[in-house]
Structure 1
């Protein structure tokens, strides 16, 4: 399934991480007040099922026969980076204007490193929290790219700095929801949490 399909589906979901402390909480899209309890119940069920997957992953990691594979990364998963590179290779004008790879490619590689080696988790809840942190850091990194390179990228893309920041902010959220939706352990996907180990 492509990144764009995952993003489109995931953006329609309301995923509310449970029990966020004041330090952890960030701007999470709010659901209408009338349905907040329904969303919380759905989130509890989603967390419950994901915690079971984290338990299975921890068992795979603990098995003596299973070792961590060498690190690999496809950049931004779901065909995002590869599609960007193919278009850049086919249309030189695209490459001239938008570069050979997404400007936030390094964000995706850092995220892949977190997803690849998930050893060190004391329990399933810790592993769950570590994945949530990695996903938030990916979103923030994409947004930070716009902050750090806003004048250069706005000029390159021929948009205002405000439009650039808005676009990268929305893209960061789309990527966050996509990895939350499809990145849980034991999913069989090549970019799942713990992909450095055999699938559960």
Structure 2
């Protein structure tokens, strides 16, 4: 029996089965390592593990948190994360006050790290953990396509119905 590969012609003989098994295993692992990372559909739970507003206005800054979730879902470089967190702080300052905004800013800076395996970490939309790598053009295109297909009514309905994580 003869096996052909791109690299060499291999004729298994006594004692070479281990080499063949190692070669096939390495080939399979290498192919998985280069598989394209895919982006899951966008999800949001509003202001993760925190109120979306006040007792008298329960969704006062929910829109700020959903916009922030879009950035966290997509991920990207460290600078992108800091920008998203600062935009959240600015938005909550306008909708609530600077004290609430500071508390949320500190919370996302501590709890939103890409290194934590939480459902709301930086880059949570990707199947494989991608850390703080900047998004390439193909990934940016994938993010844009997914955002265009989001059913925002369904996103907000799931938040309003109490599906917070």
TM-score category (smaller protein): 0.5 to 0.7
Uncovered stretches (5+) of structure 2, i.e. residues with no partner: 1-32, 130-165
RMSD: 2.2
Instruction: Supply the distance in 1 between the matched residues of 2:67 and 2:83 (Cα, whole angstroms).
Output: 12
Find the partner of 1:188 among 117, 120, 135: 117
Which structure 2 residues correspond to residues 35-54 of structure 1 after superposition, within 5 A? Answer: none
Q: Deviation at 1:197?
A: 1.1
Instruction: Supply the distance in 2 between the matched residues of 1:72 and 1:177 (Cα, whole angstroms).
Output: 22
Q: Deviation at 1:170?
A: 0.5
Find the partner of 1:175 among 79, 97, 104: 104
Could you report, residue by residue, the CA deviation over 1:86-144 in whole angstroms, capped at 9, with x for unpaired residues?
xx9xxxxx5xxx13x330100000000000012xx4xxxxx001000000000000011
Instruction: Supply the distance in 1 between the matched residues of 2:34 and 2:72 (Cα, whole angstroms).
Output: 19
Q: Deviation at 1:79?
A: 4.3
Structure 2 length as normaliser, TM-score? 0.53
Could you report, residue by residue, the CA deviation over 1:16-41 in whole angstroms, capped at 9, with x for unpaired residues?
xxxxxxxxxxxxxxxxxxxxxxxxxx
Structure 1 length as normaliser, TM-score? 0.44
Q: Deviation at 1:198?
A: 2.9
Contact 2:38-2:128 at 8 Å conserved across structures: no
Contact 1:142-1:169 at 8 Å conserved across structures: yes
Q: Deviation at 1:63?
A: 5.0
Say how many residue pairs are matched.
Answer: 97
Which structure 2 residues correspond to residues 83-122 of structure 1 after superposition, within 5 A? Answer: 98-99=56-57, 101-118=58-75, 121=76
Which structure is higher in helix share? Answer: 1
Could you report, residue by residue, the CA deviation over 1:49-90 in whole angstroms, capped at 9, with x for unpaired residues?
xxxxxxxxxxxxx95342100001000011434xx7xxx9xx
Partner of 1:71: 42
Q: Deviation at 1:182?
A: 1.1
Change in CA separation of 1:175 and 1:199 when aligned onto 2, cut-off 3 Å: farther
Partner of 1:137: 87
Query: Stretches of 4+ moved more than 4 A in 1?
Result: none
Structure with larger Rg: 2
